Amino acid sequence: MLIKHHSPNPLKGWQVNRESIGFLGQNLQRPECILTEPDGTVWAADARGGLVKMRHDGTQELLNPFTVENISSDSSGDEQNDKRYIQAQGSLPNGVCFDKNGDFIIANWGTNHIEKLSRTGSLSILVTEIDGQSLGKTNFPLRDSKGRIWFTVTTRTEPWSDQINTRANDGYIALMDANGVRIVADGFCGTNEIRFDDQEEWLYIVESTAWRISRMRVKPNGDLYNREVYGSSQLSGFPDGFAFDAYGNLWITLIFTDELIAITPDGEVITLLDDSNPQSKAALFEAYQNQAVTPEILMATQGTLCPWMASLCFGGKDLKTVYLGSLRGTRIPFFESPVSGQKMIHWK
């Protein structure tokens, strides 16, 4: 929890008004992760291998180190979806963060690398292996106040989609600092996004395929300890991205079923937006319980506003504008929140 409050929780009794949702950007490809800057710029990861820079005046620019798209436009829709979302072929920037110089650190779901992309479009590979082993499915990077880069690996299972059924606890968290790269915690079930509290005393961890949020205490040297489940022992779906607001609520996206929920500082789970399809949701959950999820079941499950809702990011001058990232959307939904988001490290 970030802050203890005696005032009423601004999320109690509040939900996203679908009619008030706006959209930013066009023809985006797999805008999985969103970054915002104080000047109003919005960045989205893009499946062409880089990021898209957007502003609310309608301008849009692709920052891409490659000269061609990773997936041939000659492929059929089904074949393209299978390659991109299930086989994870080509460069697929997933989670992104700013380094201390303002360049981008990318966890690349397609290449299984941690990369750095400069604002001029120059790409360099930072990490490909740890202790002589390939990284696995790199998911999300995060910078702390000391300039260190933390990143998650969802699984080392190949193909990665098998982990949804096996629920192997082979995900981990690694840390890049002046001493190199090392694993600081492992044994997670589908490690996804990570976030700090304001004091960087706790690191919060999404375990997507276990349907839960965990957290661990942080030592000054980056070691993690005292792992515990935060909030409900099992959420009502697959958590993917999350972010704190200034009150201490933890907003969470549920991918595939496309729901936005929050865990209050008291541990209550509240629904903020539900764009799920009842039939496909029921089929997915039945398959999950029976450890029989298939690519076909996954691909048939999505909402209409933000298909495969994967992340959220607060932005705007008062940090009250919420942007939603997705894997299958082509634009960024946004709406106004009744409470500001936690100030990100690059806003301080």
Give tens-digit pLDDT for 238-253.
Answer: 999 999 999 999 999 9
Q: Is residue 8 in some structural domain?
A: no
Q: Is residue 12 in some structural domain?
A: no
| 44-74: pLDDT as tens digits | 999 989 999 999 999 999 998 875 444 444 4
Determine the Cα–Cα distance for residues 70 and 76; give it in Å rounded to an integer.
Answer: 14
Average pLDDT, the chain: 93
Q: Is residue 11 in some structural domain?
A: no
C-alpha to C-alpha distances, 121 to 44, 50, 52, 222, 346, nearest whole angstrom = 15, 8, 11, 31, 20
| 205-232: pLDDT as tens digits | 999 999 999 999 999 999 999 999 999 9
Average pLDDT over residues 96-109: 96
Q: Is residue 13 in some structural domain?
A: no
Dihedral angle computed from the Cα positions of residues 251, 226, 140 and 196, in that order, rounded to the nearest 10 degrees: 50
Q: Is residue 107 in some structural domain?
A: yes
| 106-163: pLDDT as tens digits | 999 999 999 999 999 999 999 999 999 999 999 999 999 999 999 999 999 999 999 9
Handedness of CA 6, 197, 164, 301 (dihedral sign): positive
Q: Is residue 6 over pLDDT 70? A: no
What pLDDT is recorded for position 70? 45
Structurally, the chain folds into a number of domains equal to 1
Determine the Cα–Cα distance for residues 307 and 302; give it in Å rounded to an integer.
Answer: 5
Q: Is residue 228 in some structural domain?
A: yes
0.85 exceeded by pTM: yes
Nearest alpha carbon to residue 257 among 242, 279, 290 = 279
Q: Is residue 277 in some structural domain?
A: yes
Q: For residue 152, give its domain range.
A: 18-347
Determine the Cα–Cα distance for residues 299 and 69; give it in Å rounded to an integer.
Answer: 22
For residue 96, what is the domain's CATH number? 2.120.10.30
Q: Is residue 3 in some structural domain?
A: no
Q: Is residue 4 over pLDDT 80? A: no
